[in-house]
Amino acid sequence: GQQVMQIPQYQHVQEGEDFTTYCNSSTTLSNIQWYKQRPGGHPVFLIQLVKSGEVKKQKRLTFQFGEAKKNSSLHITATQTTDVGTYFCAGPAAGGTSYGKLTFGQGTILTVHP
């Protein structure tokens, strides 16, 4: 079945440093979604990328979707303590009917030291 791998599993940074998490799918994705889960909270949708090679920015966050639509990355510039949490990528398999079902990566846990 479809697998979505995410690295690294953990990342500790000093406040002000940059952070990147990478997501790789075993199958081509019709789209990729990114979610953030704060400690003690639930995953919250951040963004969706649809087009091959697409790049989107949200303030200090930059999201990329690979040319082959099998990988993606999230980059945070100059991390802040408010960025702490777990970042998940997720995607449905391309083709067929997924019924909205998403496969999630294992997540990257980001801690930021002030």
Partner 1 sequence: DVKVTQSSRYLVKRTGEKVFLECVQDMDHENMFWYRQDPGLGLRLIYFSYDVKMKEKGDIPEGYSVSREKKERFSLILESASTNQTSMYLCASSLSVDGGSPLHFGNGTRLTVT
Confirm if 75 and 18 have CB atoms less than 8 A apart.
Answer: yes
Cα distances (angstroms) measured from residue 58 to each of 47, 61, 65, 98: 9, 5, 15, 28
Q: How far is the CB of 63 from partner 1 (least distance, A)?
A: 14
Q: By CB under 8 A, which span of 11-19, 59-67, 73-81, 101-109 interacts with partner 1?
A: 101-109
Contact 7, 19 (CB under 8 A): no
Which x/- pattern over 33-62 shows residues binding partner 1 (rule: CB under 8 A)?
Answer: x-x-----xxxxx--x-x------------
Is 112 in contact with 13 (CB distance < 8 Å)?
yes
Residue (17 or 47) nearer to partner 1, CB? 47
- Indicate whether 66 belongs to the interface with partner 1 (CB under 8 A): no
For partner 1, which stretch binds (CB under 8 A), given 11-19, 57-65, 73-81, 102-110? 102-110
Interface residues toward partner 1, by CB under 8 A = 1, 6, 9, 30-31, 33, 35, 41-45, 48, 50, 88, 90-93, 97-107
